[in-house]
């Protein structure tokens, strides 16, 4: 067995071993080297080899999760589901995420607060829709609800105001339609963004009052990321 620092990844150690007549390289962390007392020239029995191999799998999953976190915010559930595509042993994934949790790199409360603020600030969605999206990403109900409530307080904008802003933007794409068609399409658009019927009715009643087909801003373009019908 030979032991050397991995030149590609700081804090990682490459352990080259002979197993069943073949050369095998495992990558583990410095803590694993200490825990298993890994050193050049040592030999491992079957149990020791299995333990060291598992440690390498945990480190591999941990490093994969770190790369995911480096590109965007993710909940613990997000990471778990993505790691399942690479690692079949759930206990290995749990250990990898547990290590990240222990050093403060996994925090669903912080994730939920950041995501709620971003969604309410940048997306045309209701507070209820944002809460549901957080739940879909594995955030506990109480954490999701608290995060959205905090974001709503910080933004100082309620669902009616948010609905009106989304509707005004959407109406610019509907000017070429008659009032009935514009109303139907706008209502469906707002429903898909999670606004309540009461809020939508109040919004459409105000904004469609005096509707003139082909008014200012009409361009006939009804493109949208979602289907209206």
Q: 10 Å Cβ neighbour count for 20?
A: 6
**Is residue 17 scored above 90 in pLDDT?**
no
Give pLDDT, residue 80: 96
Q: 10 Å Cβ neighbour count for 167?
A: 24
Tokens encoding 160:
């009616």
Fill in the DSSP letter of residue 3: E
Q: For 190-204, what is each residue's pLDDT tens digit? A: 999 889 899 999 999
Fill in the DSSP letter of residue 62: H
Give pLDDT, residue 229: 36
Q: How confident is the model at residue 49 (pLDDT cuts 50, 70, 90)?
A: confident
CA distance 25 to 17: 6
**Is residue 25 scored above 80 in pLDDT?**
yes
Give pLDDT, residue 44: 77
The gap from C-alpha 141 to its chain's centroid, in whole angstroms, comes to: 16
CATH no., domain 2-102: 1.10.10.10
- By C-alpha distance, which of 165, 157, 222 is closest to 193? 165
Task: Give residue limits of the domains in the chain.
Answer: 2-102, 108-155, 159-229
Q: Which residue has the higher pLDDT, 158 or 181?
A: 181
Give pLDDT, residue 79: 96
């Amino acid at each position: 067995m030979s032991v050397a620092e991995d030149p590609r990844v700081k804090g990682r150690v490459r352990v080259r071993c002979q197993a069943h007549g073949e050369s095998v390289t495992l990558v583990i962390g410095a803590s694993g080297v200490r825990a298993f007392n890994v050193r050049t020239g040592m030999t491992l029995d079957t149990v020791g080899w299995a333990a060291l191999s598992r440690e390498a799998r945990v480190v591999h999953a941990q490093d994969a999760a770190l790369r995911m976190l480096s590109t965007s915010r993710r909940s613990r559930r997000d990471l778990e589901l993505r790691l399942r595509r690479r690692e079949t042993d759930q206990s290995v994934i749990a250990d990898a995420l547990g290590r990240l949790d222990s050093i403060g790199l996994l925090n669903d409360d912080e994730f939920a607060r950041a995501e709620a603020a971003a969604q309410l600030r940048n997306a045309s969605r209701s507070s209820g829709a944002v809460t549901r999206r957080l739940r879909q990403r594995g955030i506990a109900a109480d954490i999701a609800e608290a995060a959205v409530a905090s974001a709503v307080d910080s933004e100082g904008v309620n669902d009616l105001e948010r609905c009106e802003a989304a509707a005004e933007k959407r109406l610019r794409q509907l000017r070429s339609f008659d009032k009935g068609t514009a109303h139907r399409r706008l209502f469906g658009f707002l429903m898909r963004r999670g606004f309540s019927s009461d809020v939508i009715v109040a919004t459409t009643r105000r904004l469609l009052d005096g509707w003139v087909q082909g008014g200012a801003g009409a361009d006939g373009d009804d493109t949208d990321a979602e289907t209206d019908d």
